[in-house]
Amino acid sequence: MTSAWDDPADLTLTLQAKTSQAIVVTGVTIRRLSAAPAPSAGSIVNKECGGAMYQRVFDVDLMAQEINLQPVSEGAAKAVDFPLKVSDSDPEQLSLRLLPGDHDVRFSVEVNWISEGEAHGETVADGQPVLRVTGPGRLPVYAYGETFTKP
């Protein structure tokens, strides 16, 4: 069985200013709203590989007492931490590797930035009041191709 620590869930955020005026992204705040044991029935299907785009990668331990983003170096790229400068023509893409352990975690994500000397923040909602990720617990884990047959 794959461990939630070995195979985290990915949350990709694209940061882009609305105008050519650059903003400075000072950080991302993750708030754990609840955590319960992972479900004991069902199964988990891992996603397929995505496209090739350079991302700033961060590990996020959702069960830590204080949740922090830890910069991670991927391949030849070195780990990059905040602050990050973005504009409408120079976006950044973050990959948050969410580590729920063996829990079902509900959480929120807030992006914090400075524009024209004023601090701002916006909650990433994706049309939902909260985001959710579940570690595998004792559930079986399957690769996508092992579970579904293609026509």
DSSP-based three-state secondary structure for 145: helix
Confidence (pTM): 0.76
DSSP-based three-state secondary structure for 144: helix
- In tens, the pLDDT along 64-98 reads 999 999 999 876 678 889 999 999 888 989 999 99
**Mean per-residue pLDDT, 4-29:** 85
The domain locations on the chain are 9-147
- What is the band of 137 on the pLDDT scale with cuts at 50, 70, 90? confident
Confirm if 65 and 8 have CB atoms less than 8 A apart.
Answer: no
Distance, in Å, from the CA atom of 82 to the CA atom of 53, rounded to the nearest integer, reads 19
